[in-house]
A and B are shown apart, each in its own frame.
Chain A
Amino acid sequence: MAIVAEWVKIDSARMLESLATAQTKLDAGESEVVLDFSSVERLDAAALNQLSELGALSSKKSARLALRGVNIGVYRVLKTSKIADEFIFLS
């Protein structure tokens, strides 16, 4: 049976809200959530922390958390903060 991933568009102006939506989906038992970062230019510390918590939550729930459209600057932040391994990256 095909699994349809839940898709969350990350709104750069309301990033924390968008990430909260993703958390809700993981809490609801979704097995795969895709966060669309294509409109995100930059991460702040609060968003990074929340993203890190989401990563930890997905691991705990054995769910797949994928990030799509991550720009190189944001990718560097995730690598530097050492949380990149918690995500799957989609182009």
Chain B
Amino acid sequence: MTVLADLPADPTVERRRAVQEAAASSLRRRKIGSGIALGVCWAFLAIAIVPLVAVVAYVVVKGLPAWNAAFFTQSTVPEGIPGGGVWNAIVGTIVITGIAIAVTVPLGLVVGLFLAESDGRAAASLRFTADVMTGVPSITVGIFGYIAIVRNYGYSGLAGSFAIGFIMLPVIVRAAETAFRGVPTSLNEAALALGARKATIARRVVVPTALPGVITGVLLAVARGLGETAPLLLTIGGNQYLQWNPTKQMASLPTTIYNSSSQPYADQVQLAWGAALLLVVVVLVLSIGSRLLAARLRKERR
């Protein structure tokens, strides 16, 4: 522009300069606006991350002091009495979730196989049904468990497994379908060309090849099932004592957190933090594990 300044006055040059100045000032304005808007985005990122990290930090800081020998070996004590642990709740959660896993994983895998193998209208509507099931409010699943099991057989760990299984099933089905669909068609065709039956192909080709993806999905479903509280509040009945028998009333970690957190006694709240930490650790280990597995799978495929 300094070069232009030395030239004799010329209307074209004048106009060009005016346009350039206007463009420069517009650019300056737009750049400032852009900077402000992007700054706001960064601020929102911070606003989003801070409370999420704060939750986990609080759980660790408040929960760790609760972890002692009694916490892991004793059962909960009545309100207002100091001491006690959550062993009964740990056992309850293991039994309830374990039964739910044992039933929903095989069923979910077979249904996932069905969805991966079929493209008809029936499969599409089942796929949609499974997706809607993942979004059903969990309290209504609790109501279902109450109507279907508790009304006829009373509160029990099994009723809780039923409700938790209902929540886990669609997650497993959709994850399994995605994993099975990822198996290369050429593998299928090679097995077919060798005269293998569909069942044999499923067992020896499709399932082993898709296994890491399937495990990832199952781990995520389990992580979800472990933390569900509302369905258990309506189905398991609660139990202050150690109970391994799933046909009886049981305790669980999420319901223990729920019930203890609103107590006026510091010991109970402390117990709730400890149980929350335990639950968060298990859930995060499952989620991170499933991610590592998925990453490893991607690397091996490449």
A complexed with B: no
